Amino acid sequence: MPAAFAAALHEAGRTTSRESNRFALSHVQVRGDTGDVVASDGVTAYWRTGFPLPFPDTVLVPAVPLFGAAAWAKAATVGVGRAKDHLVVRAGPWTAFLTIDALGRFPDVAAVVPRALTPTTLDLDPRDAILLAEGLPALPGSRDDKRPVTLDLAPGRLAVVRGRDDASGDTAELVLPQSNVTNGPSRVAVNRAFLLRAVALGCSTIRVVGEGQPVVACGDGLTWMAANLPPDAIVAAAAPVVAVGPPNPHPRPASENRSPMTLPAPNGPARDPADPGDALAEAEALRSLLFEATQAASRLVAMLKARKKEQRALASVDSSLKSLNLGP
């Protein structure tokens, strides 16, 4: 089994809820027949496919932080087995026995993925992914409970990610000059943590369908999605705007109303916006963001190194051909 299976268990575990209610959202679903690893907290969902699992049934196992440890990350391969009451995962000297929850229910995440034929699609260039990883945390609105940003997408125009601080009215935007948009236009608000993690996971495509539908980011065998924020979180372009990156001279389409997608309701009581929150939870959120930024930087550095290596190889071939003095 490729080591990516352990990484998928780790990422799925990060997507679970701390509590379970109607659904076992504190657990990770592993589907033996389709080779899927799935998790959801009721607002976001992680779905990784393509693993050749040695059993046909579907199991629910607890989310544990174990698979994020360095020993698992360094493993070239992992062993996976299904015992009567456990999913067994092994890497080197480490073996994890994950107790199977035979009674828990799990939402049908696949059914929530939009099936529209022509979604508004952002093909994210690696250079713009770097821009997002660096610029998203600094956009206005980062202290808001939902940390909203607006995706402003239209074919023939530069893609824009915009933020606003409701207290001061300050607005700023990231312009993505290297990326391409097809279909649309669409304008939707999401939590910026969704976009940060999409970059960290290596997603290269972001799709927006419409009202009541989740925003979906896709990578190699991966679907990562999140509910829209309410329409009043959408920020339209308005002067003065502080542009981060190349300016976009094109006007923006009129705001489109959107509603949250239908996923299982988040667990626990609603948070009072005036409540400063739990310091431990804030620290954990900060640690998560730093981890995502580090992962994104590592992936993007690897992409750039590979591109530079290709350029050197082409230059070497060109130099060798010139040395042959081939002429008419």
Where along the chain do its domains lie?
A: 4-110, 113-269+278-310
Highest mean pLDDT among 68-72, 80-84, 164-168, 305-309: 80-84
Residue 245 has pLDDT above 50, yes or no: no
Q: Is the pLDDT of residue 310 over 90?
A: no
41-62: pLDDT as tens digits:
999 999 999 999 999 999 999 9
Could you check whether 4-110 and 113-269+278-310 share the same CATH topology? Answer: yes
> Could you tell me whether strands 171-176 and 242-244 are parallel, antiparallel, or unpaired per DSSP bridges?
parallel
Contact criterion met (CB below 8 Å) for 105 and 40: no
The answer to whether 85 and 100 have CB atoms below 8 angstroms apart is: yes
Task: Say yes or no to pLDDT of 273 above 80.
Answer: no
Question: What single DSSP character describes residue 286?
Answer: H
- How confident is the model at residue 35, as a pLDDT? 96
Nearest-angstrom CA–CA distance, 118 and 124: 17
Residue 76 is predicted with a pLDDT of 87
Element (H, E) at 27: strand 27-31
Angle, alpha carbons 110-112-118 (nearest 5°): 100
243 within 8 A of 158, measured Cβ to Cβ: no
| Residue 272: pLDDT over 50 | no
- Are 203 and 217 contacting, i.e. CB atoms less than 8 angstroms apart? yes
Please give the mean pLDDT across all residues of the chain: 81
pLDDT value at residue 267: 43
Q: What is the pLDDT of residue 205?
A: 97
pLDDT band at 261 (very low <50, low <70, confident <90, very high): very low
CB 26 within 8 Å of CB 40 = no
- CATH 3.90.930.12 for domain 4-110, yes or no, is no
| Averaged pLDDT, 227-248 | 67
23: helix, coil or strand? coil
Q: Between the CA of residue 228 and those of 72, 120, 191, 210, 246, what are the distances in Å?
A: 34, 14, 8, 9, 27
Per the model's pLDDT, the better-predicted residue between 255 and 183 turns out to be 183
Which pLDDT value is given to residue 154? 95
- The answer to whether 253 touches 154, Cβ cutoff 8 Å, is yes
- H helices of 115-236, in order, are 126-135, 192-200
155-171 core/surface letters (b: 16 or more CB in 10 A; e: else): eebbbbbbbbeeeeeeb
- Three-state SS at 266: coil
- Closest by Cα among 160, 159, 203, 162 to 180: 159
Q: Is 305 helix (H, G, I), strand (E, B) or coil?
A: helix
- Location of structure tokens 């693993």: 51
| pLDDT confidence bin for 158, thresholds 50/70/90 | very high
- Which residues in 166-231 belong to E strands, given as ranges? 171-176, 180-182, 186-191, 205-208, 215-219, 222-226
Name the pLDDT band for 72 (thresholds 50, 70, 90). Answer: confident
Report the CATH architecture of 113-269+278-310: Roll (3.10)
- pLDDT tens digits, 162-181: 999 988 889 999 999 999 99
Find out whether 188 and 150 touch, Cβ atoms under 8 Å: yes
